[in-house]
Structure 1
Amino acid sequence: MSVAAKLRSAEKQTQEPPRAILGPAGNRVRVLEEAKRKIEVLKKSQQKPKKPVEKMSQAAVKNNLSVDSTCSSDSYSSSSSSGRNVKLNGIKQVKDVPNGGEIKDVSSKKEGPVKRCDWITPNSDPLYISFHDEEWGVPVHDDRKLFELLVFSQALAELSWLAILHMRDIFRKLFDQFDPSSIAQFTEKKLLSLKVNGNLLLSEPKLRAIVENAKQMLKIQQEFGSFSNYCWRFVNQKPLRNGFRYVRQVPAKTPKAELISKDLMQRGFRCVGPTVVYSFMQVAGIVNDHLTSCFRYQECNADVEKNFELPKSQEIEIVTRALGNTCLSHD
């Protein structure tokens, strides 16, 4: 055997360790066994189920954790389904999340003071404020109450509304609860006894006018059935709405007040000029002169609409009657 052949035979019998294999880029050396190990690890990792991103985010929110690593722990405060405060980036929000419902913003808005007519101020007497909120501009249909308000409107020439309200019980006591049939019987002696602290309640001409007006009111009740029917017929039984925005727009008298004043004086009423009559119309709710910015303006209008709303049965009856009359006229 030649020397070359012996050398080749010796090379075959010698076991060499596996040689390193160069990677595709020629700059990484990988061993076959290491490659197999990595493949097995990769297969195992693929068999492990992954959590959906949505669930992870929900879990993070539930545990007061931020999904974004850039968010700090103090930029987020705990929240619950009962609507606790949530603070995100310094912005405070209040949300209510009902079960299975939509997210509704229930941010607590501080309600400011109730807006009233401009002549009512924070320093106004509580009695005057109550009068504005509960009586002024509310439609009145009771004859005694209407006569009382007419007397008060006449008294405004000598007293303010606040003074009248504080003396209201005295007025009612001295004028027999404003019963016109009783006042019509007052004598001169009775009139001169209507005093407060030694002074007459009102001037003598005013007192005599009240007695005379009570007598004329009894005549109106006989003619129209009630003083209320007489007063409300001038506005077709429904209050007038002016819708003024500013105090300066509210008039002292109107053509309608002049018309009523003229009619009253023709019937023998005294001290019932257009200014007195218009004050009476305002306080009796014959006209709604609350400013449009006042909360009572809309409330008075709503009450009127509700009171004048006809029942369905009555509406059908009116329409049927109208259709019947139309058919008869054509026949």
Structure 2
Amino acid sequence: MPTAKNTIKEINRCGWCSNDPLYQDYHDNEWGVPIKDDQQLFEMLCLEGAQAGLSWITVLKKRERYRQVFHGFDIEKMAAMSDQELERLLKDPGIIRNKLKVFGFRKNAHAYLEHFSEQQSFVDFIWSFVDHQPLINQPKTLSEVPATTEISDKMSKALKKKGFTFVGSTICYAFMQAAGLVDDHTRDCFRFNK
């Protein structure tokens, strides 16, 4: 009879994914899975902006606290947050205490409310950059995965024009990967072409 040790198969994941169970769960179940919900896309865009200059695991470990303090990413409630509320958040160790990033969440909520509605959804706008179909890349190694593309450049410019912040091309490409607009799982990853 095989032992438990012999029956456990090692799972190959993308090289950026560490042994942290939270990171592995994110990689296995979220990263690269298409998001077609306005609020979820908005949350992911904000969190990718919070990552700027940091590692994604840092943001991932703080994601639940972000959801608590930013009203579950309810866009109208975020837009209505006062300067005093945001200033108080700068003392909260459960989030990244960068003033530009914290105030940027509210700025993004204002931009969202100004430009998106039932007539033009955020989903339609974001997914229009990839003709509403995920781009399936087939990188052999992480070195073949770009930091930016022509599409992320266009998305960045369009979001900035609408008043969004922390939406540079690198952030936009990471957002595209996270939200499933692009599938960059490497060929040796068990999630490749899933």
> What TM-score do the two structures reach when normalised by structure 1?
0.54
Deviations 1:48-100 (A, max 9, x none): xxxxxxxxxxxxxxxxxxxxxxxxxxxxxxxxxxxxxxxxxxxxxxxxxxxxx
C-alpha separation in 1, matches of 2:106 and 2:191: 34
Matches within 5 A, 1:176-195: 176-194=71-89, 195=91
C-alpha separation in 2, matches of 1:261 and 1:202: 24
2:120 aligns with 225
Structure 1 residue 168, shift from structure 2 partner: 1.5
How many positions carry a matched residue from both structures? 188
> Would you say 1:264 and 2:159 are equivalent positions?
yes
C-alpha RMSD of matched pairs (Å): 2.0
Report SS of the residue matched to 1:211.
helix
Structure 1 residue 265, shift from structure 2 partner: 0.8
C-alpha separation in 1, matches of 2:79 and 2:186: 37
Structure 1 residue 159, shift from structure 2 partner: 3.5
2:180 aligns with 285
1:166 aligns with 61
Equivalent residue letter for 2:15: D
Structure 2: gaps spanning 5 or more residues: 1-5
> Would you say 1:128 and 2:23 are equivalent positions?
yes
Call closer, same or farther: CA 1:200–1:235 in 2, change over 3 Å.
closer
2:147 aligns with 252
1:196 aligns with 92
C-alpha separation in 1, matches of 2:193 and 2:8: 18
> Would you say 1:274 and 2:169 are equivalent positions?
yes
Matches within 5 A, 1:1-331: 112-121=9-18, 124-194=19-89, 195-197=91-93, 201-222=96-117, 224-299=119-194
Equivalent residue letter for 2:32: G
C-alpha separation in 1, matches of 2:186 and 2:123: 25
The percentage of counterpart residues that share the same residue type is 38
Equivalent residue letter for 1:117: C
Which has the larger share of strand? 1
Structure 1 residue 113, shift from structure 2 partner: 1.5
C-alpha separation in 2, matches of 1:111 and 1:291: 22
Contact 2:65 / 2:95 at 8 angstroms: preserved in 1? Answer: no
1:316 aligns with none
C-alpha separation in 1, matches of 2:96 and 2:193: 36
C-alpha separation in 2, matches of 1:200 and 1:297: 32
Structure 1 residue 196, shift from structure 2 partner: 2.0
Contact 1:224 / 1:230 at 8 angstroms: preserved in 2? Answer: no
Equivalent residue letter for 1:193: R
Contact 2:66 / 2:95 at 8 angstroms: preserved in 1? Answer: no
Equivalent residue letter for 2:180: G
Deviations 1:283-302 (A, max 9, x none): 00010011122121221xxx
Structure 1 residue 254, shift from structure 2 partner: 0.6
Report SS of the residue matched to 2:116.
helix
Contact 1:184 / 1:215 at 8 angstroms: preserved in 2? Answer: yes
Report SS of the residue matched to 2:11.
coil
Using CA pairs under 8 Å that are at least 6 residues apart, name the structure with larger relative contact order, 1 or 2.
2
> What TM-score do the two structures reach when normalised by structure 2?
0.89
C-alpha separation in 2, matches of 1:137 and 1:167: 20
C-alpha separation in 2, matches of 1:246 and 1:185: 44
C-alpha separation in 2, matches of 1:252 and 1:200: 25
Q: If you compute each CA radius of gyration, which structure gives the higher value, 1 or 2?
A: 1
Call closer, same or farther: CA 1:110–1:174 in 2, change over 3 Å.
closer
Contact 1:139 / 1:239 at 8 angstroms: preserved in 2? Answer: yes
Call closer, same or farther: CA 1:293–1:224 in 2, change over 3 Å.
farther
Structure 1 residue 158, shift from structure 2 partner: 4.4
C-alpha separation in 1, matches of 2:129 and 2:169: 14
Contact 2:152 / 2:173 at 8 angstroms: preserved in 1? Answer: yes
